[in-house]
Amino acid sequence: MAIEPENNDQTAKTLTPPDGPPVRADGTVPPAVRIQGLWKKYGEQIAVAGIDLTLPAGRFIGLVGPNGAGKTTTLSMVTGLLRPDAGQVEIGGHDVWHDPVAVKSRIGVLPEGLRLFERLSGRELLAYIGRLRGLPGAEVDKRADQLLQVLDLAGAQNKLVVDYSTGMRKKIGLAAALLHNPEVLFLDEPFEGVDPVSAQTIRGVLERYTSSGATVVFSSHVMELVESLCDWVAVMAGGRIRADGPTAEVRGDAPSLQDAFLELVGANGRAAGQDLDWLGGGAAR
């Protein structure tokens, strides 16, 4: 499918946010994300139990928590993909549900279980997303070339997305989320299923992106990764925020963020498989 680029500078000016965090008229910078009283229940299951959380702009932020903590549900509500039962979310000072266009032009999202247009090539997918974002064709071409190159997808740019591997899907999804140079990028488990070389590549792209003043919020279970990448963390468990703040503060006196995390979510000292006395090659069957 050929998508002809069209020059539409005016729309691009409206939709493309400036580099770095936005500044209010009084010179202050609104937080990247402000969450107040956010609730979500699925039937009787409380997934998110009325959380309040403020994430500052220009940081590399990790949202961590055990399986079922409510991370995906929170990120889905914060990015406008899932309607909360109650509560309010603002991105850069704009309400996610009352001002969706302003919010969506400022954010990039790599959701969990990413759905892509499978019958487009990687290159066509970026061209299509660029047009949806209102970017001029020539600018989309330039950015797509650079993103495909940096993410090591240039050789696969004409391959259909349906034929991409898991890691390649993450990378083309990341390219699509970055194409319009958002102020805040939300990534749900961006490193899951990604080989160490690709993980290093993604990491480099994200570090470069935050160094220019943009904000990354990503969820992960890999504590070493979060500790080495993030300067701010929020720890979730049972639908609540257990701790949040600069990584060093949340870690406190614990030897590592992993230890602090286990303490915070109440998993320290939990018996690890003592009851499985039948398990193991040498045990009687």
Q: How far is the CB of 39 from ligand ATP (least distance, A)?
A: 12
Interface residues toward ligand ATP, by CB under 6 A: 42, 45, 47, 65, 67-73
Closest to ligand ATP by CB, 103 vs 265, is 265
Closest to ligand ATP by CB, 47 vs 127, is 47
Closest to ligand ATP by CB, 73 vs 198, is 73
Q: How far is the CB of 258 from ligand ATP (least distance, A)?
A: 16
Q: How far is the CB of 184 from ligand ATP (least distance, A)?
A: 19
Closest to ligand ATP by CB, 43 vs 282, is 43
Closest to ligand ATP by CB, 124 vs 189, is 189
Q: How far is the CB of 45 from ligand ATP (least distance, A)?
A: 5
Closest to ligand ATP by CB, 69 vs 172, is 69
Burial of 43 per CB tally in 10 Å (0-12, 13-18, 19+): exposed
Q: How far is the CB of 231 from ligand ATP (least distance, A)?
A: 22
Q: How far is the CB of 215 from ligand ATP (least distance, A)?
A: 20
